[in-house]
Amino acid sequence: MKARKCIEELMPYGYVPGDEDIARRYGLLVSKVKRFDRNTSPGILPCVKEELRGIAQEGIGNEYPDSRYEELTRLIAEYSDVEPGQVVLGNGADEAIDLLTRAYLSEGGVAVASTPTFSFYKVVSEMNGGRMVEVPRESEGFSLDVEELLGVAGENDADLMFVCNPNNPTGDFTPLATIEEIAKRFGGLLAIDEAYIEFSEGGSAAGLCEKYGNVVIIRTLSKAFGLAGMRIGYLLCPKKVAEQLNKIRQPYNINPVSERLAIAALSNTQEMRENVDALVGERNRIASSLGEMGFGVFPSSTNFLLVKVADAQGAFDRLIRKGLVVRKMEGVLEGILRITVRGKEDNDLLLAELAREKGAGTKNVRKGASGEGIMGAQMPAGEEGSA
Ligand code: PMP
């Protein structure tokens, strides 16, 4: 018995070991495991905690949620400055990305993306019976090559283009004028992934959705809002695209606890802003400390930093034994660690450990032609991460 060809041949989205698994492997207390590898927020917003207490007292879950999620949709629309009819909810941005790929990537069709970028675009293209063509970011700062990207999209008659902005893992922001240029000239659906937009000073491309009719924005509450475990993502689309996507969205794709917590978080956006301000402050502090220690640190518009280390594998191994889990990059980012910014206390622990390592300047970042394997973290036993 065989699954569909595209499933049999699929290289799956990797397993990232949980805290318990890491603690067991390294003989640590679970509380000692600090995740610097998942680009999440270190804490829970006070309004979310309070809502959780209320939910625990009331009890919840015997009934189905409202499948239109009207209040949550309205709050997302307000927060994003779009109409409610432009919003499509996903069980995490991952599901939202799957929805748009399922709907707009034809059988055997091509999606293009500038790599290194978020590894899920390739997996999702392949699991939906298409493929992804990669356009390497070859400049010193890993910025997007618009002409090359549009050229490759044209040659392959691409249905879909993914632009992650700011980009995971390179951390750079593509100016909105560039995004608009792509929207004007690309004939397929342009998906702009703004998972990290709250950490950036550049604005959102959401205004382009209706203007060009072919732009979809991918967002999540997993990063700035600190709700990764609750799985709440959304798309901002032209209304006509939202209508198509809502036809294939599972009616109850957000569970009622997540729905309530998302409503609480979006009703108190000043708490999210305080979280973002604190993390951006820490990001800048860590970047200068590491720079002073001699490490090459790349500019970042996100909640993580790319840090060039002389012995990245050795540093990774030494850190994880102490419970400090960072992400070791590969491919064009070989020799680089991706470090998620956490709270001050945890960041200080990491800085103290990194002070024992040797840095390497940004100048010698090796550039290669292929994006293959770039997002593979060297987790214990060679498992590949996906966050
Ligand atoms: N887009 C990007 C760029 C990401 O880095 C991630 C997660 N790391 C996601 C989307 C998926 O987010 P979610 O948790 O909402 O599925």
Euclidean distance between CA atoms 38 and 25, whole angstroms: 19
241-276 per-position pLDDT tens digit: 999 999 999 999 999 999 999 999 999 999 999 999
Is 239 buried (19+), middle (13-18) or exposed (0-12) by CB count in 10 A?
Answer: middle
pLDDT reported for residue 11: 86
CA of 194 to the centre of ligand 1 (A): 9
Enclosing domain of residue 31:
5-44+270-357
Asked whether residue 65 falls in the same domain as residue 11, the answer is no
Asked whether residue 195 falls in the same domain as residue 84, the answer is yes
Asked whether residue 81 falls in the same domain as residue 169, the answer is yes
Write down the mean pLDDT value for the chain. 92
Asked whether residue 64 falls in the same domain as residue 203, the answer is yes
The tally of domains found in the chain comes to 2
281-312 per-position pLDDT tens digit: 999 999 999 999 999 999 999 999 999 999 99
Is 192 buried (19+), middle (13-18) or exposed (0-12) by CB count in 10 A?
Answer: buried
Euclidean distance between CA atoms 50 and 70, whole angstroms: 22
Asked whether residue 78 falls in the same domain as residue 133, the answer is yes
The residue among 218, 245, 268 that closes a domain is 268
Residue 372 has pLDDT above 50, yes or no: no
327 φ, ψ (degrees, to nearest 5) = -110, 125
CA of 58 to the centre of ligand 1 (A): 31
Q: Residue 369 falls within a domain, yes or no?
A: no
Q: At 192, is the pLDDT very low, low, confident or very high (cuts 50, 70, 90)?
A: very high
Ligand 1 lined by 37 (C-beta under 6 Å): no
Query: Residue 284: which residues within 8 A CB-CB, separation 6 or more?
Result: none
Q: Residue 375 falls within a domain, yes or no?
A: no
pLDDT reported for residue 387: 62
| 120, 122, 170, 197, best to mutate for ligand 1 pocket (most atoms within 8 Å of CB) | 120
pTM: 0.93
Asked whether residue 65 falls in the same domain as residue 122, the answer is yes
Q: Residue 376 falls within a domain, yes or no?
A: no
Q: Residue 29 falls within a domain, yes or no?
A: yes
Q: Residue 238 falls within a domain, yes or no?
A: yes
Residue with tokens 């030494």: 318
Asked whether residue 50 falls in the same domain as residue 26, the answer is no
CA of 345 to the centre of ligand 1 (A): 25
Regarding predicted confidence, which is higher, 283 or 363?
A: 283
Q: Which of 12-26, 111-125, 269-283, 373-387 has the lowest mean pLDDT?
A: 373-387
State the CATH number of the domain containing residue 110. Answer: 3.40.640.10
Asked whether residue 228 falls in the same domain as residue 264, the answer is yes
Q: Which two tokens stand for residue 96?
A: 């939202």
Ligand 1 lined by 92 (C-beta under 6 Å): yes
Across the range 93-122, mean pLDDT stands at 97
Closest CA to ligand 1's atom 9: 93
Asked whether residue 34 falls in the same domain as residue 54, the answer is no
Ligand 1 lined by 167 (C-beta under 6 Å): no
Asked whether residue 68 falls in the same domain as residue 155, the answer is yes
Euclidean distance between CA atoms 375 and 361, whole angstroms: 21
Euclidean distance between CA atoms 55 and 10, whole angstroms: 40
Q: Residue 377 falls within a domain, yes or no?
A: no
CA of 365 to the centre of ligand 1 (A): 26
Across the range 56-60, mean pLDDT stands at 96
Task: Provide the 8-state DSSP code for 165.
Answer: S
The residue among 239, 268, 297 that closes a domain is 268
CA of 220 to the centre of ligand 1 (A): 7
Residue type, 289: S
Q: At 141, is the pLDDT very low, low, confident or very high (cuts 50, 70, 90)?
A: confident
Q: Residue 219 falls within a domain, yes or no?
A: yes
327-357 per-position pLDDT tens digit: 999 999 999 999 999 999 999 999 999 999 8
State the CATH number of the domain containing residue 328. Answer: 3.90.1150.10
Euclidean distance between CA atoms 116 and 138, whole angstroms: 10
pLDDT reported for residue 128: 95
Q: Is 210 left (phi over 0), alpha (psi -120 to 50) or beta?
A: alpha
Asked whether residue 22 falls in the same domain as residue 54, the answer is no
Asked whether residue 325 falls in the same domain as residue 224, the answer is no
User: Taking a C-beta distance cutoff of 8 angstroms, is the pair 60, 256 a contact?
Assistant: yes
153-178 per-position pLDDT tens digit: 999 999 999 999 999 999 999 999 99
Q: Residue 224 falls within a domain, yes or no?
A: yes
| Number of the ligand 1 atom closest to the C-alpha atom of 167 | 3
The residue among 211, 243, 268 that closes a domain is 268
| 38, 222, 300, best to mutate for ligand 1 pocket (most atoms within 8 Å of CB) | 222
Q: Which two tokens stand for residue 48?
A: 């979310």
